[in-house]
Chains A and B, each alone.
Chain A
Amino acid sequence: MPKWGPFLPEALSLFDKLWDSQVVAALPGGGALVAIDRIFLHERTGASALNALREAGRSVADPARVFAVTDHIVDTRPGRTDKTLMPGGQAFITETRAAANAAGIALFDVNDPDQGIVHVISPELGIVLPGCTLVAPDSHTCTQGAFGALAWGIGSSEAEHAMATGTLRLNKPKSMRVRFSGQVSKGVTAKDMIMTLIARHGAAGGKGHAVEFAGDAVEALDMEGRMTLCNMATEFSAMSGFIAPDAKTFAYLEGRRYAPKDALWDQAVTSWKKLASDADAVFDAEIEIDSSAIGPMVSWGTSPEHSVEIDSTLPETAGDRPLQYMALEKGESLAGKPIDAAFIGSCTNSRLSDLRRASALLEGKKIADHIKAICVPGSSRVKREAEAEGIDKIFRDAGFEWRESGCSMCFYAGGESFEAGSRVISTTNRNFESRQGPGVKTHIASPETVVASALAGAIADVRELL
């Protein structure tokens, strides 16, 4: 980007601003030591990271910035304890508890009122903030980029590094802007927007890039829709996805438990308002999507890139292996394909607005007789608020199970799974082989599409319900 004179600063993208503000030092070879503001652990890998750190004779540099939660393998059936259906699962919970207490970090334990899926509770508690860096050993940490933060998933060794040093060693990724211009039509959600991007540009389409989501359709999303959009940036192989913070972002965070208060809040908001790409910022890659052309999406194969609009047929280019696994054929239509089960939950689509929209479509109706249907709120707070609105009753009356919050059957780390070989419509982010149980055929879709399909007993177009 040329400078237009000695007095004009270079135009910067939001990513440049996020990155530049966190660089502690340049490293030999072109990398950088980057300051990490927040670290979140969960019980699946938290104990191993904390124990490995301790065994190496190291300590957590600043325990006030490290948080832990039980979400991945905790039981989500009512009346839960430390026991899980996963063989040996209890040890993950008890060892993470012991390690978190020993390290002096905050823990949102099994029955804590603030417990929930890490990417749901971190925003709820105001732990993620605009302009901060936040990491967790979970690939969907990019969800939290919805707040104008640089948030991304790491491995266990990097979690140890971040805890021990307050930094990570990184190479600066390239920048990409994905603009969703115009407005989506009725029945189309943030989930359909991100699935469209991945279907068109591939599961590796964002590789090596930090992706800013922008455009009218993104600005129009509420914070929970923005989280859904950013959630699947990792399915696009991006380092992270993020959105410039605005008045909606600040309104969501104000007053939350760990958010700044009073004068500090005002000072923070003043700073956060500068977090936007300059008008003439240049990106290494740009993608434009006409939002009005997006329809409700459903995946057909075993990667999120294997997705189509519900009223189109499976592509002729579909690979044999995913077709065989999913027991589908080229040219086949997904609409009308009978299903065995339906799942609403996961860090993609388990927030109050997701449950509200789903329950509005379910109210007064019954799902098809043969369907096993489960709704798992994303956090204990979402569950309480939904129950206060009577949403649980609508789900139960329609034939859904209503659960305690957690990752649950998004994958089957908790030891519970759908019946082997069954076909499931699901609001999760991954349709990998056996992701929701051995041999289970997962079709990912929006909560609306899941409800329409559960009612019909077959994959269905939500627009017919509207």
Chain B
Amino acid sequence: MAEPFTTLTSLPMPLIRNNIDTDQIIPSREMKSTGKTGLADGLFAGWRYSAIGGRDPNPDFVLNDPHFADSQIILGGANFGCGSSREHAVWALAEYGFRAVIAPSFAPIFAGNCVRNGILPAVLDAAAINAIEKASQPVTIDLAAEKVSINAAQSWPFPIDEEPKAMLLEGLDAIDLSLKMANEIAAWQTVDRAKRPWIYLGASQ
């Protein structure tokens, strides 16, 4: 179960590139174990280190900028998290300490993975993201109010569906929620089995 997400105040780290794919967030070679941990060291490895496979920090990459060392929010570009469905990308972000990504759009599988691991994918348009970057000061994300703000005068609403919002706010486990509907699932399958018997392999083979 993920830690509940309510409000978060942090200096956002700008990484405003379009189409940041999950291969960049956690390169394949950095997924060294079959578990969900030990991934933070490989976060953005291809950009973060000077040489492939090495560990010397590339001083030009924003993750190595001490100014953003405690940042828990990434300001991203459009189509953030595209590419492979690997949830390791989100596990790596979470393990490193990020709790939110603000971007103009997200790849759908990545956004779902975020919610299931307590990371907020917040959609703001490029103009708002540029304004936040330019302000270069901490922002507060208030999930209940669906709002990102720098101060009382500068804030931006972001849209989020009801279920991911509730899951993030309460740290809910989706499997537990669905297992509570076991009776409805069983009833549906009884009706469906009569309509589509070929789907039920155990019974027909």
Q: Which residues of A contact B (CB under 8 A)?
A: 24-25, 27-31, 33, 35, 37, 44-45, 47-48, 51-52, 56, 58, 62-65, 86-88, 91-92, 95-96, 129, 131-132, 137-139, 153-158, 160-161, 164-167, 169, 171, 203-204, 207-208, 234-235, 237, 239, 258-260, 264-265, 267-268, 271, 302-303, 305, 321, 411-413, 415, 420, 430, 432-435, 438-439
Contacts and interface: CB of A to CB of B under 8 A. Distances in A.
A155 B24 contact: no
Interface residues of B, number: 62
Nearest to A49: B87
A433 B23 contact: yes
B32 A88 contact: yes
A385 B181 CA distance: 46
Contacts of B178: 33, 161, 164-165, 167, 169
Nearest to B198: A260
B53 A438 contact: yes
Given A64-B201, A169-B163, A413-B29, 6 more contacts: A44-B31, A56-B175, A165-B175, A264-B204, A321-B17, A413-B28
Contact of A433 (B46, B78, B163, B177): B46
B111 to A, nearest CB: 10
Contacts of B113: 155-158
B46 A35 contact: no
A208 B34 contact: no
B28 A432 contact: no
Interface stretch (B4-12, B63-71, B101-109, B127-135): B101-109
Interface in B1-59: 17-19, 21, 23-24, 27-29, 31-36, 46, 52-53
Given A86-B29, A154-B112, A435-B23, A48 B34 contact: yes
A167 to B, nearest CB: 6
A277 B20 CA distance: 35
A129 B204 CA distance: 15
By DSSP majority rule, is chain A's interface helix, strand, loop, or mixed? loop
A139 B109 contact: yes
Contact of B84 (A139, A305, A438): A139
Given A139-B109, A420-B52, A45 B86 contact: yes
A430 B83 contact: yes
Contacts of B161: 29-31, 171
23 contacts: A24-B181, A24-B185, A31-B163, A44-B31, A48-B36, A52-B36, A64-B200, A64-B202, A137-B85, A153-B85, A154-B112, A165-B182, A166-B185, A167-B185, A203-B82, A207-B108, A302-B19, A303-B19, A411-B28, A411-B84, A412-B29, A413-B28, A430-B83
B166 A29 contact: yes
Contacts of B88: 45
